[in-house]
Chains A and B, each alone.
Chain A
Amino acid sequence: MQGFLALTRRELKKWYKEPLLMLITVLQPLIWLTLLGKAMNIGAVFGGGVPRELANQLMLRSFGTTDYFSFMATGMIAMSCLFTTMFTGFSIIWDRRLGFLNKVLSTPVSRASIVLSKILYATLRSSFQVLIILGAAFALGLKTGSGFHPLYLLGVLVVAFLLCVTFSSLFLMLALRSTRWETPMAMVNLMVMPLMFASNVFFPTELMPGWLKVVASVNPISYTNDAVRQFTIYRLDAGVLLKDLTYLGLFALAISSLSVYLARRYLSR
């Protein structure tokens, strides 16, 4: 436990002692929100000829909200989790190349601590971004659902936490034994776009073709978005939310256990 905390502290220090890195962490979600959120104003497609009432009806039916920006902004939370955690694996390659990993491996600290500290670090960093996104989204006019309560935002954090644990474990696993960037980098590239688009980040899955719907229905990002939207812009449906949380929780647990298991076995080459 002590070793685990010390390793996490080391990572965190590297982050907050670097002002530029910190600034980027803050700027990135803001750029996404303003660019993606405000540029793709799907609501405007119905402008002009379509009566406002009807347009709202159509939006509500497909997106669950009348405001596309709110739909998009809440989807940004999962996206930011994906984008901050996708580099988790590289820090272990870096540690390996610099010899730091070997030093740590020669101490009695548990192999699990080594990977879990990286997972926790990525998760904390990501949660910080999620807070910024939430703040910015409200500032830019997020339309909350009826029955919204500020405490629900804690729920959003829990959901983001689960997704971050999932993704950082996944990307860490890919790099456990690597000494080079190339292969894990290519794998990350290969996975990110499908993960993002085969989900309900930008578009509801109901309107997707059947095969894509299947992919999207196992994609943890879809569950994250749905849960986040339940907490913020939809009218909260406890049954659906419970299903989302269970799925995400089990997914995070399974994949992080797998990464710890693999670390125990394969971190030493």
Chain B
Amino acid sequence: MREEIIKAVELTKIFNGLRAVDRVTFSVKEGEIFGFLGPNGAGKTTTINMLTTVLKPTSGRAEVCGYDVVREPERVRRSIGVVPQEYTADEDLTGYENVMLCADLYGLPREEGKKRALELLSLVQLEPFKDKRVETYSGGMRRRLELACGLINRPRVLFLDEPTLGLDVQTRASIWEHIRSLRERFGMTIFLTTHYLEEADQLCDRIAIIDHGRIVEEGSPSELKDSLGGDLLTLECEGNGVEEILRAVEGVKVVRREGGEYRVKVSKGETVAPLLLRMLTDRGVTVKRLSLTKPTLNEVYLERTGRSLRDQEESPEQGIRQRVILRRARS
């Protein structure tokens, strides 16, 4: 049994009456990559801020590396690294100067700081650009620089808030590689948040789906998908009594009407689909479209929250931040 390196119990943060994080309980084992998956405004950043001692919980408690985040913030800070959602590196300073600033914030001896800064800059492949001003960096380079800053104190736990927000597909994949290699090389525990399903699916050992401040589901990506209990058939058809007909077909578990579509959950999509099609046609229903989806996290998400992760909502302030991030990410 590996050690539980992050433990949150009924962790809650209320902002002027808004329950941003609502009695969240979970734990992360040493060496795991654990992901918080949820849309904008779900409470991911707020959770990270509490775990990293930036925000004080309204109630509940949390421990990181065995230290209480409220009572022993100093110790927590020494054992963690944080890569915030925003690009926080100073535009006017060079990459190297930025990493050195972080080294100083952790109080590393000057020589040790220099050594680590150079090591980390080459780890994230920024060595050739270390003396260029951050202003000239691309989005992917900025992310990698943030990563280097977050690693300067050789943390046991690394917190990554939306590590690939706004990045293109290739850059995203390369950041994932970096994250995986961190775990392999240093056995580091990684807590990340994301609203990209692929990211959670590909990168995380375990996921908690968070929505409106609450954890609605937790498990490994494959557990979550299995929990849906089968494949999803989506039909668009014209005719009467479609729902009743569908329900009568063998292998159909759940039928739901959503928009103009019927979403039918079945145990084995490939065999049930033809059967379903025949039954409907026999009863005079015209099937205009039929699609079979193997479960993905999006289905899990839809199932648990009733919304697709693709539609995003955001508060004005977050909107501004997000735009700042995106503008820089794309520069």
Contact = CB atoms under 8 A, between A and B. Distances in A.
A13 B317 CA distance: 29
A167 B97 CA distance: 30
Q: Tell me if A's interface is mostly helix, strand, loop or mixed.
A: helix
Interface in A1-44: 2-3, 5-7, 10, 13-14, 17-18
Contact of A14 (B55, B74, B77, B90): B90
B82 A99 contact: no
Interface residues of A, number: 25
B104 A5 contact: yes
Given A2-B107, A108-B106, A103 B88 contact: yes
B93 interface: yes
Contacts of B84: 99, 102-103, 106
Interface string B106-122: 11000000000000000
Contact of B93 (A5, A10, A107): A10
B98 to A, nearest CB: 9
B78 interface: yes
B102 interface: yes
A3 B108 CA distance: 9
A106 B153 CA distance: 12
Interface string A237-265: 00000000000000000000000000000
A268 interface: yes
B53 A99 contact: no
A103 B104 contact: no
A100 interface: yes
Given A6-B105, A10-B93, A97-B321, A268 B77 contact: no
Nearest to A3: B105
Contacts of B100: 6
Nearest to A107: B105
A98 B317 CA distance: 11
Interface string B75-90: 0011010101111101
A269 interface: yes
Given A98-B88, A102-B54, A268-B53, A6 B74 contact: no
Interface string B123-160: 00000000000000000000000000100010000010
Nearest to B79: A108
Contacts of A107: 77, 82, 102, 105-106, 153
A269 B56 contact: yes
A269 B55 contact: yes
B92 A268 contact: no
B324 interface: yes
Contacts of A7: 101, 105
A208 interface: no
Contacts of A124: none
Interface string A102-113: 111111110000
Interface string A80-123: 00000000000000000111101111111100000000000000
Contacts of A217: none
Contacts of B92: 13-14, 17-18
B92 to A, nearest CB: 5
18 contacts: A6-B100, A6-B104, A7-B101, A14-B92, A99-B321, A100-B86, A100-B90, A102-B54, A102-B82, A103-B88, A104-B105, A106-B52, A106-B77, A107-B77, A107-B105, A107-B106, A109-B106, A268-B54
